Structure formats: structure tokens, C-alpha cells
Amino acid sequence: MTTPNWEIGGRALGSRLLLGTARYPSLAVLQQAIQASGAAIVTVSLRRESASGRAGSQFWSLIKEMGVQVLPNTAGCKTVKEALTTAEMAREVFETAWLKLEVIGDDYTLQPHPFLLVEAAEELCRRGFEVFPYTTEDLVVAERLIQAGCKILMPWGAPIGSGQGLNNPYALRTLRARYPEISLIVDAGIGKPSHALQAMEMGYDGVLVNTAVARATDPVQMGRAFGLAVAAGRLAYLAGAMLAQDMAEPSTPVTGTPFWHSSPQEPTK
């Protein structure tokens, strides 16, 4: 199930689901999950894949053969220098200027470091990268990233891998309303297709999912479920979902509804 083309980063894509490639039980399952989900973008960590010994071999061949858009990321980076070095390596390996920028500031929550994130984004935008910064839902940080040159933001729903869903719907709605022209992708914390659906119904442009699919009992079917949820949420947003209200409202109009009254009793004699 697809929705109308999504224009992002200078490309037109048929799916608004982004799929991570880590933690799958096998390459075969990863390939099947990507195909079942319909995802047009997959994220790849150059540092993690290099550490696992798969770099430049079967893993890279598989990704290239599938014809999906690769979004390299700087997962695991904690300093600006680390992020810049990893970004340049990724651009050379994958031959793309797209980059998911991560600069982690807290080891427990894996929350992005706001100050270092902005600093790295400024430099990477100057170097010609299309930066997809992994950030929080904070409006001030969002504004600074936009000023740095970012046209796309990836606010978290909840901490990475937590599966908690959208912890702060109010802030996410506020961010969406404040920046209607910026592409916003919910990244991290998505645990169920219903979480992805909720984000898309808010008007978010896309959703990135990894652990919820990779660690499912059946990653292939879960990938398909997320693909359907993202498409359904986008269609619901475009259709104009009804607003919640306090009072009940009958779904069947009462105008013209016949009413029957019992005949008056005959007077007793």
C-alpha cells in the first residue's frame, strides 16, 4: 500500500516509512522485511556495521541490490569530530550526501546532545550534506537546526529502542504546527504500528522504525504491518480526521424520523 510520492531531499519516493537495518536475525530476514514493508529508505550505521565485520561484503551488496535509498547515520558518535569524520566516510562509501546525524549526549536515554548536534549540523550543511538530524521535540533546538541549514528534522518519539511510542504528543503536535514547511520524521521509540499511525495522523511526514521490526517474532509480517500503518495514517491526515469532542452527537439524523404514539384510551362508561 503506497501513498502519493513523497518529495524529500531532492527525491520522490513512494513510501514514508524508513527502516533501520540493525539487529535482524539474518540478512535474508532483513531483505524480506524491507520488501514487505515497502520502505524506500533504509538507515545504515557505518560504525556498527564495520564493527560487525560485514562492511564491504554481503551486507553492502544486499542493500545495493535492493535499490532502496540509503541514509547513512553517525550512530554512536559523541563528539562533533567523530560525527564529521564518520559523515565523510559514509559519503565516500555510499556515494550520497544524505546523512542522519546523531550526536549522543546521554548514555542512559541516548538523548541527542543539543549543543554539539547544532554545531555538527552547521559544519555538515556547509560541506554540502543533506542533514537529517536526530533531535528531541524541543522547539528551540529545532529552530537552531533550521538556522544551521537543515530542511529535515527527526524528533524522537521516545528513547531509542524503548518501544514507548509518542511520549509527548503535545510537543510533537506543537512542533508540527510551528514548522509546516519543514519535513518532520518521527525517529526512535516507536514500538507498535499504532504508534506510527498516530504520528502520521498528526501530519508528520514519515516514521523511522528499527527495533520494533527487527526484534518482532516475525519481522517480515511486522514490516508489512508498519508499512500499512504509515500509509493509512498519511491518508487519514490528508482526508481530515474528525476532532474529538465532549458531547455525543447522533450519527443518524433525527429530522424526519417518524414517532409512533399509542392511541388515547377510550373513556370508561
269 catalytic? Reply is no
Contact 52, 75 (CB under 8 A): no
**Of the residues 78, 81, 100, 269, which is catalytic?**
100
All 3 cell numbers of residue 259? 414517532
Q: Is 256 left (phi over 0), alpha (psi -120 to 50) or beta?
A: left
- Is 211 annotated as contributing to ligand binding? yes
- Is 210 annotated as contributing to ligand binding? yes
Helices of type H across the chain? 27-37, 46-51, 58-66, 80-94, 114-126, 139-148, 169-178, 193-201, 211-214, 219-239
Spell out the long-range contacts of 60-65 with Cβ–Cβ below 8 A and sequence spacing 24 or more: 60/93, 62/27, 62/30, 62/31, 63/21
Rounded Cα gap, residues 45 and 40, in angstroms: 17
- Is 191 annotated as contributing to ligand binding? no
- Is 161 annotated as contributing to ligand binding? yes
Catalytic residue numbers, as ranges: 100
Binding residues for 1-deoxy-D-xylulose 5-phosphate: 161, 188-189, 210-211
Binding-site positions: 161, 188-189, 210-211
